[in-house]
Amino acid sequence: MADVSPLARPFPDLPEVAGCTRGTATAGYKNWTRADVTLLAFAPGTSVAGVTTRSKCPSPEVELCRRHLPWGSARGLVVNAGNSNAFTGLKGAEACARQVAEAANLLGCEPAEVFAASTGVIGVPLPQEKAIAGVQAAHAALGTASWLDVTRAIGTTDTFPKAAAREAVIDGTTVRLVGFIKGSGMIAPDMATMLGFTVTDAAIDPALLQALLEAANGRTFSCITVDGDTSTSDTVLAFATGAAGNRPLAAVGDAGADAFAAALEDLCRELAQLVVRDGEGASRFIEIRVSGAVSDASAHRVAMSIANSPLVKTAIAGGDANWGRVVMAVGKAGEPAERDLLSIRFGGIEVAASGMVVDGYDEAPVTAHLQGPEIDIAVDLGLGDGRATVWTSDLTHGYISINADYRS
Amino acid sequence: MADVSPLARPFPDLPEVAGCTRGTATAGYKNWTRADVTLLAFAPGTSVAGVTTRSKCPSPEVELCRRHLPWGSARGLVVNAGNSNAFTGLKGAEACARQVAEAANLLGCEPAEVFAASTGVIGVPLPQEKAIAGVQAAHAALGTASWLDVTRAIGTTDTFPKAAAREAVIDGTTVRLVGFIKGSGMIAPDMATMLGFTVTDAAIDPALLQALLEAANGRTFSCITVDGDTSTSDTVLAFATGAAGNRPLAAVGDAGADAFAAALEDLCRELAQLVVRDGEGASRFIEIRVSGAVSDASAHRVAMSIANSPLVKTAIAGGDANWGRVVMAVGKAGEPAERDLLSIRFGGIEVAASGMVVDGYDEAPVTAHLQGPEIDIAVDLGLGDGRATVWTSDLTHGYISINADYRS
């Protein structure tokens, strides 16, 4: 087992969310005794929204979520850990469909109201009998699993359980939002898979929930990277039970929609950052802010070019104030940039401006900043108003050990 | 000093190229006694062509080459090692211009006929006095430096000198081509810089030489990657002295142009592969062939997505037959791909087809292939006739050590 990440956060106190019950069970997808099947049951009338991987080779679970999302209604969520069921052909698709059908049968709903996600080994079809027995046992256990239990049950090689909560007031009614997520711990031959789920008791129309989730995703989950590799199974789902009894939100302009949107985005940001904090081999949490780009989208691409650069990530791992590698990563992004307008700050300290190192540059305070666990890199391109912020981890021997030294 | 790469090749016997003389000298850009300034002098009438980095933040040397290339004529090449002069503002541009002017003065030619490249530390202006004294000393030494001498003098943290030669017959006349290159060994804060130079005694019009070099580049230097990071200084220049006395080549259809183009591309391919063999921390040389794409360009992007994936590269480093990571990298490339049409081979052995692992898959021969130093990955997308081949190295603890453990 990997040690707990040095960037870990304690598991928070999480409120109950009315209209959602939880159960876990052991299907035994691997040779272990831990819970590896999770079932969440939702009250009738629960809205659902989701975003899934852009991979052209998605898992059958991702394809099932994409088929079910347009209906907008959810009664159940099944999550399998230890087997991603990805790239398993018709056999894997059938196993996924049968497990979801069994969940629908147990919950007394339509299969289209059940969502599924799996994470773990790729290329091995989900074993049907274990999957069905597992979801039956998880159903029998509904009401017995804590948020911590389900967060642990969806994890694979995560080194700590990751969850968060927020509140919002909608037209006088307080609503709760809870999110839990699994991140990018993995062993060969697993993919760095991110599965994230949020549950709220707010009443909200699924189309609006989808719009707010997509907006939040664009500023949170889409702004993190550990190694630039995109999983075949990445899935984020948002469920809203409506049990809080607020006047249902249906449009962006409705009273309280802003507050809910802000709480959802804030929740997603914390979950996204927790994934980075558990990035494989991570020893430093890095925030990269790019401003002065020709557009926000351009700023995002420049920021991701920096965040995904092995040379930048290894320099940070070495505590090296190597702003030249940041210049390189800006230059290779393919976005509009002018060398002689570029400025770069580490930990708020300007190191380069107008195409060269600043006069009287003193590396000592910058190096001191780089010794800490939280690194701040700011780049201004000096061209326009476009800006973006992304988060990543450093690239260490730990990453190589996790991904090269262990065999499947 | 890093150990010699396990993938190193012996330095070959190289012929003289009439019309080109060489000198080296020690400018002392670092605290060392080795030669770090190289001057090549070319006979009047020498043609030149070049391709440079796509970085938006190029070095002044790259900008100078871009300004001089349209004139098509070369009398000199100056290469500095130990200081890349990149991101050094006006001061660096002035140092570059003054060194080139001095070389032109010594060679009795126009500054526009002199080309320059520098590699090494970023952000420190090239010291003018050392640069000028260095090029003067290299000029005084013209005729005394071997190909091995100049190959060593342009290197930085390369673990072995890299050069190659070819011949071609143009309309009955044998011409010689020699190339030498520095690759992606580096220490912080240096960039993985590739500088490559070819010299031939063929007579060829600069416009045709440029067209042939660009074509060769697209299938050779543009098809290698070590870490996906693009230098601010990457430069490939081709010089043709015309001393062989062949009927000058001016158009693609001229007799012998095909033979020369083939020799040039073959030379560039060997040089490019040598750079991969000296990739930082490389323990395996990986050829990735993608076929069945909707176009050659699409195949190239899929192949580079596989070649740049940290998860694929660490799997190879670990000798792990992890075809799931290849699926992931195909999926994330953003190019047309159908999971259920995909097939994957390692070392010629089919491991996955039609969206799933092959029946009766035996990992043993695949794992045996992966224990060797030369790895072959073939992916067929099953969609069209597009194909591409790229080369890369694996991602090892050695890469992290080189780039994180040492300080600038």
Tell me whether residues B328 and A232 touch, CB distance under 8 A.
yes
pLDDT at residue B58 in the model: 87
pLDDT at residue B293 in the model: 97
Which residues of chain A fall short of a pLDDT of 70?
1-2, 184-193, 405-408
pLDDT at residue B186 in the model: 36
Q: Indicate left, alpha or beta for B319 from its phi (over 0: left) and psi (-120 to 50: alpha).
A: left
Element (H, E) at A70: none
Q: What angle do CA B151, B154, B160 make, to 5 degrees?
A: 55
pLDDT at residue A60 in the model: 94
Please give the Cα distance from A134 to A80 (Å, whole number): 9
Choose the mutation target among A122, A302, A400, A402 for the interface with B, i.e. most B CBs under 10 Å: A400
Give the residues across from B51 on adjacent strands.
B236
CA-based nearest residue to B392, from B268, B232, B280, B264: B280
The pTM for the full model equals: 0.86
pLDDT at residue B2 in the model: 61
pLDDT at residue A240 in the model: 96
Tell me the pairing of strands B114-121 and B76-83. parallel
pLDDT at residue A193 in the model: 54
CA count, 13 A, side-chain hemisphere, A42: 28
pLDDT at residue B406 in the model: 55
Query: DSSP letter string over B44-111?
Result: TT-EEEEEE---SS--HHHHHHHHHGGG-B-SEEEEEEEE--TT-HHHHHHHHHHHHHHHHHHHTS-G
Contact list in B for residue A308 (CB cut-off 8 A) is: 228
Read off the tokens for A165.
Answer: 């909560």
ipTM for the predicted complex: 0.83
Read off the tokens for A81.
Answer: 């850990």
Contact list in A for residue B308 (CB cut-off 8 A) is: 228
Please give the Cα distance from B113 to B65 (Å, whole number): 10
Number of H helices, E strands in chain A: 11, 16
A225 has catalytic annotation: no
Q: How many Cβ contacts (< 8 angstroms) between chains A and B?
A: 239
pLDDT at residue A406 in the model: 55
Per the CB < 8 A criterion, the answer to whether B101 and B136 are in contact is no
pLDDT one-digit tens code per residue, A80-89? 999 999 888 8
Tell me whether residues A356 and B408 touch, CB distance under 8 A.
no
pLDDT at residue B165 in the model: 94
Residue A309 forms contact with B (CB below 8 Å):
yes
Tell me whether residues B317 and A407 touch, CB distance under 8 A.
no
Q: Chunked in runs of 10, what are the mean pLDDT values of chain B (408 residues)?
A: 82 96 97 96 96 86 95 96 90 96 98 94 91 98 98 90 93 93 50 74 96 92 80 85 96 95 94 86 94 96 92 91 89 88 95 88 93 96 96 89 68
Q: What angle do CA B107, B111, B114 make, to 5 degrees?
A: 70
Tell me whether residues A87 and B327 touch, CB distance under 8 A.
yes
pLDDT at residue B56 in the model: 82
Report CA-CA distances (Å) from A381 to A366, A388, B230, B242: 20, 12, 19, 45
**Which of A 173-232 lie inside 8 A of B, CB atoms?**
188-189, 191-192, 227-232
What chain B holds in terms of domains, given with CATH numbers, is 20-277 (3.60.70.12), 285-405 (3.10.20.340)
Residue B10 forms contact with A (CB below 8 Å):
no
**Which of B 38-57 lie inside 8 A of A, CB atoms?**
53-57
In the β-sheet with A356-357, what is the strand arrangement from edge to edge?
A224-225, A386-393, A285-293, A374-380, A343-346, A349-353, A356-357
Tell me whether residues B395 and A397 touch, CB distance under 8 A.
no
